[in-house]
Chains A and B, each alone.
Chain A
């Protein structure tokens, strides 16, 4: 019982100590520990550095300072719940948990509390249907558009015909990895390719049997749907069985420098999907160097600048920043509430001019969010790893997914959710 009392004292003290200031709070449910930290650290650094830059360079957004509230989840849903409850009372504007499991937890909770969730390129795919999911956004792309983009790329390199080819999906055995299976099954019917699915259990260090099976079945292409340590192991195992790297394609969560570096030169030509552009050749990087890194305010160790997940953290923060600007414009107040933030996200329009003004020209696709469509157009490009220069090269333009097929699936899945939870459709 004495621990209860101590905990009570600690929590009470924490709550009393936190100052009540007018600021824009962006909780960052990060994971800098555990088997998924390889992806979690750079993303959290990018997210935090962007808002530090906004505070240092612009004095906040519309004159109001931003505050990033970091909470360690370790990619664990129980800790995610604790983090959500601990941070939501501080005026959290938007949650970006970078975990599909935690997103599933937060969808009903945040909808009830009236706080938007932005699961950029992860989470529940059918949340793209804004008619059912009022508070949840997953623009600019989601798992199903990602799966379709992979197949589109295979169609491109095979002159539009992949019937009779064999595709193997190596996936993380969780909600994250299972999401694309439905879409791939539909696509395999449509285009006539054979699909084998191979599950890898958390955390993904043990994949010998899966790759043995691939070696035996000799699929033409392997699609990798992994995260954290699982990516490095998968690419290593693929090189061990001498699987041709140009025939292995990862989703955007399996395409970071850290995933391919351990395999060295053998990972040359590995392909992955990309949500954003690669590299650090953008005006914003000189600002980050000047205002954040040189002043010693960089998050974490400050050694992740320019990596793929870091860029993605910057991108997620930039989209939140633009949504705040939009919300401030709509409601004509600087210190916005989560409900106003939601309106801003719903009215978000990303164009080339907006991105250039933010110092990130040609960084992501142009898209527009609407009341009905919270998922954006589902644009993704393909990048390929150059092991000698140790850089990712863009090998295709942003290309749209098979939206006719995906919209049907989204409609079906979100309708099931609406029926289960007695939600009436909005936007009519």
Chain B
């Protein structure tokens, strides 16, 4: 009825190829943005920020990054945790070496450094693919974590091997460290996330994104029609690592504040981000957000319901959490192998016909 293309006339090519061709989607998008920018900052508190919104937004960036590589370009990577560690440690080294540099610039530069590292570890992808590439990236994961544990220069020779985020300001508002203002942190992270998501969305719709998808669907055919696999694969590795690096830097400075590489950026981080991408939907920016929301919010929600509402013992609740989240993942993948993004697509198809099903 209200959700349809009919009657929404496009008069230019750019209008015709916009992200949300349906008017209702556009309004919904602006409403979500308006709520995120104008309502949430006024009601946010420490719990919502640190337990829900920050992990959701930051994991979403990592998921977009991995989605570019795995979902769009078809290169399986298990090195996400290691690349996040590169972002975090690059950020720490720059924050302590150049204290006057604006934190947003530091985060951007950390992303670029991670892109360079990702580029290096992407080189084997030119010769190997599939499971073999997954193992090569797994090596990156273990090597990078080992490196940050082994070389004291990376953690400024501190006795414990921990890195701690110093206090930094933006527009006179403290956004890192313990004294940070919750809404300012939230708005900073949200802005970075939205900018990166817009960039990713447009990259994947353009020339480069089409090259990646051609490589993913059949690399030999892509090469024959003129896609350069070297350029496509390495750009996917570099851009994906940039996103993952930015998310690692934000994970360190905004979310945790103190990081121990083995515990925070271990192999389980790579798997969590990979699960997000698979559950959310491979090759979909919306799917990255949906997957991050599922993996971050579900445990918090279950914990609050089981311990807070029912008063169950915490260990029972923790075990149930594993069971329920695991079960949901299996059920989701059986019922909808293409992830939450596909559910969303189907819902939209249904909505187009509603209320007349034929």
Contacts and interface: CB of A to CB of B under 8 A. Distances in A.
Interface stretch (B62-70, B221-229, B304-312): B304-312
Interface string A1-33: 101101100110110011000000000001011
B314 A86 contact: no
Interface stretch (B194-202, B231-239, B292-300): B292-300
Given A3-B298, A175-B161, A101 B315 contact: no
Q: Which A-B residue pairs are the 10 nearest by beta carbons?
A: A32-B315, A14-B308, A108-B178, A112-B178, A175-B160, A72-B314, A82-B51, A85-B47, A7-B301, A104-B258
A420 B255 CA distance: 19
B315 A33 contact: yes
A4 B309 contact: no
Main secondary structure of the interface of B (DSSP, over half): helix
B55 interface: yes
23 contacts: A3-B297, A7-B297, A7-B301, A10-B304, A11-B48, A17-B309, A18-B308, A30-B314, A70-B313, A72-B307, A72-B314, A72-B317, A72-B318, A74-B318, A78-B255, A78-B256, A101-B260, A107-B258, A108-B177, A109-B178, A113-B178, A178-B161, A182-B159
Contacts of A126: 159
B100 interface: no
Q: Choose among B160, B179, B303, B305 the residue with the greatest number of A CB atoms under 10 Å from its CB.
A: B160
A112 B179 contact: yes
Main secondary structure of the interface of A (DSSP, over half): helix
B161 A86 contact: no
B50 interface: yes
B43 to A, nearest CB: 10
Question: What band does the interface of chain B fall in when counting residues whose beta carbon is under 8 Å from A?
Answer: 35 or more
A7 B52 contact: yes
B308 A10 contact: yes
A173 interface: yes
Contact of B266 (A71, A124, A202): A202
A419 to B, nearest CB: 10
Contacts of B317: 72
Q: Choose among B164, B266, B309 the residue with the greatest number of A CB atoms under 10 Å from its CB.
A: B164
Interface of B: 32, 46-48, 50-52, 55, 149, 158-162, 164, 166-167, 177-179, 255-258, 260, 262-264, 266, 293-294, 297-298, 300-301, 303-305, 307-309, 313-315, 317-319
A201 interface: yes
Contact of B149 (A86, A88, A111, A173): A173
Contacts of B48: 11
Interface of A: 1, 3-4, 6-7, 10-11, 13-14, 17-18, 30, 32-33, 37, 41, 70-72, 74, 76-78, 81-82, 85-86, 88-89, 100-101, 104-105, 107-109, 111-113, 124-126, 173-175, 178-179, 181-182, 199, 201-202, 300, 413, 416, 420-422
Contact of B257 (A33, A109, A174): A109
Given A108-B177, A109-B257, A202-B262, A71 B164 contact: no
B50 A82 contact: yes
Contacts of A30: 314
Given A77-B260, A101-B263, A13 B46 contact: no
Contacts of B166: 420-421
Contacts of A111: 178
A107 B158 CA distance: 16
B293 A4 contact: yes
A108 B159 contact: no
Given A11-B304, A85-B51, A70 B314 contact: yes
Contacts of B55: 78
A201 B261 CA distance: 11
Nearest to A113: B178
Contacts of B178: 108-109, 111-113
A275 B308 CA distance: 34
Nearest to B316: A32
B26 to A, nearest CB: 17
Q: Choose among A4, A104, A421 the residue with the greatest number of B CB atoms under 10 Å from its CB.
A: A104
A124 B160 contact: yes
A175 B149 contact: no
Contact of A14 (B50, B263, B304): B304
Contacts of A82: 50-51, 300
Contacts of B159: 125-126, 178-179, 181-182, 413
A3 B293 contact: yes
A428 to B, nearest CB: 23
A7 B304 contact: yes
Contact of B309 (A10, A78, A104): A10
Given A71-B314, A77-B264, 20 more contacts: A10-B305, A11-B47, A32-B314, A41-B315, A72-B303, A72-B314, A72-B317, A77-B256, A78-B255, A82-B300, A86-B51, A89-B47, A104-B162, A104-B258, A105-B256, A108-B164, A108-B177, A112-B178, A178-B159, A181-B159
Contacts of B263: 76-77, 101, 174, 202
A207 to B, nearest CB: 15
